[in-house]
Amino acid sequence: MRAAVEPGNVLDAQYVEAARNLLRHVDPTQTWGVGSGVQAEDMHVENKNGWIPDLDGTYNSVGYVYREDGSIEYAVAIMMQRGGGDQATKDTMQRLSAHAYETMMHTTE
């Protein structure tokens, strides 16, 4: 994930910008997942969430966290299946995102 959003690693700059453009335009109803656990105002998230409307309830959230200057701190992907329903799954993903943030940024609540 991280290699795809940093120019020169895997993709040329124009393709990196296209990918980041897709990640940064998130529907306001889709703020759950990777971005919901970031706890600092100077940090930003670009991510996409998705789900498969089947009986198993498969959900995913992928994205990365970056600073004001654009430097990427970390990338994360969360995948869940059978999370106990829509809201319960989103709540769990928020807790996982917060844990990833605390771990990667070495913070505590």
Measured CA to CA, the distance from residue 69 to residue 97 in angstroms comes to 22
At residue 94 the predicted structure's pLDDT band, cuts being 50, 70 and 90, is very high
Residue ranges of the domains in the chain? Answer: 29-105
Q: Where are the alpha helices (DSSP H) in the chain?
A: 13-24, 86-105
Query: What is the per-residue pLDDT across 73-87, written as a single tens digit (0 to 9) for each?
Result: 999 999 998 778 888
Question: How far are the Cα atoms of 26, 49, 81 from residue 70, in angstroms, in the given order?
Answer: 18, 21, 32
The pLDDT assigned to 92 comes to 93
pLDDT digits (tens, 9 = 90+) for 12-39: 888 888 888 888 888 888 888 888 888 8
Which has the closest alpha carbon to 33: 53, 14, 51?
51
User: Phi then psi for 48, rounded to 5 degrees?
Assistant: -135, 140
Radius of gyration, alpha carbons of the chain: 14
Mean pLDDT is highest, among 32-41, 52-61, 97-106, for 97-106
Bridge partners, residue 58, by sequence = 52, 81
User: What DSSP designation does 109 have?
Assistant: -
pTM of the model: 0.80
